[in-house]
Each structure stands twice: as C-alpha cells, then as structure tokens.
Amino acid sequence: MKEGIIVYRSKYGGTKKYVDMLREAKDFDAVEVSKADVRITAQYNTVILCGGIYASGIAGISFIRKNYEKLKDKRLAVFCVGASPYDEKAFNDIKRRNLKNDLKEIQCFYGRGVWDQEKMKFADRTLCRLLQKSISKKDASELEPWEKALMSASGKKCDWTDEKYLKPLLDFLG
C-alpha cells in the first residue's frame, strides 16, 4: 500500500502552495478533487484533503463525505486554507459545519492563504465587496478577527502562506 495522497481544491493558489510544501515534506502524491478517483485514493494509507474556505465551506470536502465508507479505515486529515488569521471560535465553527456525523473525528488543521481581489471571479469579488460594505457600517471595536482581516486586505494583494501552518499537520502525520 502507498504511503499518502493529498486530494485538493485550490481556487486562487494558496491551497496549491500548501500542497506543494506538504509534498516536499512528506513525498506524498497529489491530485485535484476534480480528477480524484476513490479506487486509486483508497490504495493509500493516508489521505489528506486540502481545500480553501469559501462561505464557511471547505472546498472539496464533498469528496471525503461522498467516499467516507471507502476511506474510513485510512488515516484522514483535512487542511483548510483561509484568508483570516487563525481564530479558535471561527475554526471550530468551520469544523462543526463541515465535519459532521461520521466525519467529526477527522483531524482538521488550518493555514492562512492568499488574497487578491483582482484574481477573484466576478461572483467572489462581488460577494467580498458586499461583505466589506456591510462590515464597514459596524463599530471597529466590535469586529470579529475575520472581519478585521477582510477590511485590512481590501484592495491589496496578500500572501500569508507559511510552512509554519503545516507543522501541526506534519506532527500529526509523524
């Protein structure tokens, strides 16, 4: 049996950067979710899903959910990537929303990604602008950490990817 595979969905590049760092650290194979075949994935001892966070959902989590019965005996982990700095409450909400029922025991990790509104698809850019407009009406002292991050990144190109975010996952993998 093969050691490990990373199944990933990277919309704007941050997740792919983490996949590349992880592949270098662990020599795992990698495949995009859209090309993943559970019959091949199930041949590995370890399966890691890497996906960005969009509207509180982890991109690609449906692959694990849909194929859980075939993968449940594997060492499973999820590495999700977002634009916000780590916030325990927000992270726990993400886990609760995405890792329900059978998936709740899967280890989940977080890394900060990239932000570039110019590269965003029209719908994503529009949603972000509407959200920023809504947040701008709030008192700055009452903003959640993710709201502060969204406002500070507005109009900028930011890349927060860093190998340090992979350390907890790498420790888990051993």
Higher pLDDT, 80 or 146: 80
Q: Is residue 6 assigned to a domain?
A: yes
153 contacts 83 by C-beta, under 8 angstroms: yes
Range 13-29 average pLDDT: 95
Q: Pairing relation of β-strands 157-159 and 2-9?
A: unpaired
165 contacts 114 by C-beta, under 8 angstroms: no
Q: Which two three-digit tokens encode residue 39?
A: 């019959």
Higher pLDDT, 31 or 127: 31
- CATH at 35: 3.40.50.360
Would you tell me how many other CB atoms lie within 10 Å of the CB of residue 140?
10
Q: Which pLDDT belongs to residue 72?
A: 95
Higher pLDDT, 124 or 66: 66
Q: Which pLDDT belongs to residue 9?
A: 96
Q: Is residue 141 assigned to a domain?
A: no
Q: Which two three-digit tokens encode residue 97?
A: 């929303």
Query: Residue 139: pLDDT above 90?
Result: no
Higher pLDDT, 127 or 109: 109
Total domain count, the chain:
1
Query: Which of 28-32, 51-55, 164-168 is the least confident region?
Result: 51-55
Q: Is residue 124 assigned to a domain?
A: no
Query: Residue 131: pLDDT above 90?
Result: no
Range 99-125 average pLDDT: 88
123 contacts 85 by C-beta, under 8 angstroms: no
pLDDT tens digits along 38-80: 999 999 999 999 999 987 899 999 999 999 999 999 999 999 9
**Model pTM score:** 0.85
Helix spans in 54-102 (H): 61-71, 88-98
Q: Is residue 85 assigned to a domain?
A: yes
One-character DSSP codes across 5-67: EEEEE-SSSHHHHHHHHHHHHH--EEEEGGG--HHHHTTEEEEEEEEEEETTEETTHHHHHHH
Q: Which pLDDT belongs to residue 1?
A: 63
Q: Is residue 140 assigned to a domain?
A: no
Range 18-25 average pLDDT: 96
Domain containing residue 166 = 2-116+158-173
Q: Is residue 84 assigned to a domain?
A: yes
Q: Is residue 129 assigned to a domain?
A: no
Q: Is residue 152 assigned to a domain?
A: no
Query: Residue 81: pLDDT above 80?
Result: yes
